[in-house]
């Protein structure tokens, strides 16, 4: 089955998110003081964190490694039942569902950053990436490609 046009920008945005998450996450894990990214620890005042280690790990794993893994899964469509356990949409491939989850996680991550840290232009960029991921996932062509079937009511 040929991929619809909507799948290509979805994959490109996931690659972009993966690269950003890996860069930011690795930088914060290697330098929990935030010095590597020129982010003072004082920016975390009002948050539950004393340094950037935990946010760096979350960024690295959920917003860096996961989208990279999803790129592979959206292309190859592996049928791994053990990974599909969190797929609430049983009739559609788990990679589509997890991509939808990722878009939601990214938007929540950005909103929490804005509340706890402060506003920065990059947050707008990544917030828009999160919204674009959601929109691309929810396009009918994308959904049908990953197994969604319209009910014949």
Domain spans in the chain, listed from the N-terminal domain onward = 7-145
| Both structure tokens of 90 | 């049983």
pLDDT in tens, 7-31: 999 999 999 999 999 999 999 999 9
pLDDT in tens, 40-87: 999 998 889 999 999 999 999 999 999 999 999 999 999 998 999 999
Number of Cβ atoms within 10 Å of the Cβ of 119: 11
* pLDDT score, position 151: 61
| Both structure tokens of 39 | 């982010």
Contact 137, 94 (CB under 8 A): no
How distant, in Å, are the alpha carbons of 20, 53, 72, 76, 115 from that of 58? 13, 9, 20, 26, 17
Element (H or E) spanning 93, and its range? none
Longest dimension (CA), the chain: 58
- The helices-and-strands tally (H runs, E runs) of the chain is 6, 0
Element (H or E) spanning 88, and its range? none
Element (H or E) spanning 71, and its range? helix 66-76
């Amino acid at each position: 089955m040929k991929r619809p046009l909507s799948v290509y920008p979805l994959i490109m945005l996931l690659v972009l998110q993966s690269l950003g998450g890996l860069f930011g996450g690795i930088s914060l894990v290697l330098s929990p003081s935030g010095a590597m990214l020129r982010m003072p620890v004082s920016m975390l005042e009002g948050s539950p964190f004393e340094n950037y280690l935990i946010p760096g790990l979350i960024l690295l794993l959920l917003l860096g490694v996961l989208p990279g893994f999803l790129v592979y899964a959206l292309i190859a469509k592996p049928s791994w039942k053990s990974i599909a356990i969190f797929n609430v949409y049983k009739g559609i491939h788990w990679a589509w569902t997890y991509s939808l989850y990722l878009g939601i996680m990214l938007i929540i991550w950005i909103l929490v950053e804005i509340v706890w840290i402060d506003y920065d232009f990059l947050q707008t960029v990544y917030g828009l990436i999160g919204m674009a991921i959601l929109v691309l996932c929810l396009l009918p062509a994308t959904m049908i490609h990953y197994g969604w079937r319209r009910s014949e009511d």
